[in-house]
């Protein structure tokens, strides 16, 4: 059915019944590829500017490999999130160009593109323990064509570390603030800068932090303007949202 629909669109272009722009509009809503256990959104790149990302947790290695192979037939760059090193070691047997960003837990196949803009996404963390989630955000943003600067371990317990980097924060177009514990980092930095701040609450902390719930609620209840908040430990979501903001108005 999908092949028939695509053939019809191509014939309409050939017969000048529709314009190329009209065809692109139709293709934005073109169906998916059904590989049995998964229905892959093969045209997400056309609609959203970046292909479908593989959520690796909960899938078998064979399923992940099959999805990578299918998506790579129409895309030059695919990433998989929340991957393990064991999964990566199995994947490179089938797809030897795969690389593993260990801290970010991201498997990447394809070259990271050059930045599409000089605008900077700055990823900051409250502590060193927040880095894995920040790295997931940073790698995601880089694979989407952004210039990313990392500034780690500048939490509010030693706020002078943040103030020493105020110039870098001022030069940022978007800031991702990853923090656990009480999650105050996003509020503090948002009160210092003019750009959007994306709060990334992490599950880092002692018992009363409730595995990130305390940080999430603190960021949601922030009185500082300009903050948006993603889910606990959702570095991918933070990186993706930062990229959408950062690339507004940039030709794809």
pLDDT at 44: 79
Specify whether 149 is located in the same domain as 238: yes
Q: 51: which residues sit within 8 A by CB, 6+ positions away?
A: 44, 45, 71, 74, 75, 77, 78
pLDDT at 208: 87
Q: pTM of the predicted model, to two decimals?
A: 0.86
Q: Is residue 158 part of a domain?
A: yes
DSSP string, 51-62: PPPEE-TTS-HH
Q: What are phi and psi of 205, to 5 degrees?
A: 150, 175
Regions of the chain where pLDDT drops below 70: 1-6, 8, 26-30, 34, 251-252
As beta bridge partners, residue 39 has 34
pLDDT at 55: 95
Specify whether 215 is located in the same domain as 133: yes
Count the Cβ atoms, other than its own, within 10 Å of residue 1. Answer: 6
Specify whether 137 is located in the same domain as 75: no
| 190, 212 contact by CB (below 8 A) | no
pLDDT at 56: 94
Specify whether 199 is located in the same domain as 135: yes
Tally of structural domains, the chain = 2
Burial of 15 (0-12, 13-18, 19+ CB in 10 A): exposed
pLDDT at 2: 47
pLDDT at 251: 62
Q: What are phi and psi of 126, to 5 degrees?
A: -70, -40
Specify whether 134 is located in the same domain as 235: yes
Q: Is residue 208 part of a domain?
A: yes
pLDDT at 28: 67
pLDDT at 26: 67
| Residues making up the chain, counted from first to last | 252
């Amino acid at each position: 059915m999908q092949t028939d629909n695509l053939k019809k669109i191509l014939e309409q272009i050939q017969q000048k019944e529709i314009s190329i722009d009209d065809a692109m509009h139709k293709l934005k809503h073109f169906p998916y590829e059904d590989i049995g256990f998964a229905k892959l959104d093969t045209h997400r790149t056309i609609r959203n500017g970046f292909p479908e990302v593989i959520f690796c947790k909960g899938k078998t290695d064979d399923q992940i490999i099959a999805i990578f192979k299918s998506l790579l037939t129409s895309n030059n760059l695919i990433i998989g999130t929340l991957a393990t090193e064991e999964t990566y070691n199995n994947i490179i047997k089938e797809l030897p160009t795969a690389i593993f960003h260990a801290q970010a837990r991201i498997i990447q196949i394809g070259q990271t593109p050059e930045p599409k803009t000089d605008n900077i996404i700055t990823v900051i963390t409250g502590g060193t323990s927040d880095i894995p989630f920040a790295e997931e955000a940073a790698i995601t943003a880089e694979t989407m064509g952004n210039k990313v600067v990392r500034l780690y371990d500048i939490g509010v317990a030693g706020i002078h570390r943040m103030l020493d980097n105020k110039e870098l924060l001022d030069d940022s177009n978007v800031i991702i603030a990853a923090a656990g514990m009480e999650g105050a980092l996003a509020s503090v930095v948002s009160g210092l800068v003019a750009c959007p701040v994306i709060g990334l609450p992490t599950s880092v902390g002692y018992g009363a932090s409730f595995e990130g719930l305390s940080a999430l609620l603190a960021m949601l209840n922030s009185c500082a303007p300009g903050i948006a908040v993603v889910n606990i430990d959702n570095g991918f979501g933070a990186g993706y949202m930062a990229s959408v903001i950062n690339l507004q108005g940039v030709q794809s």
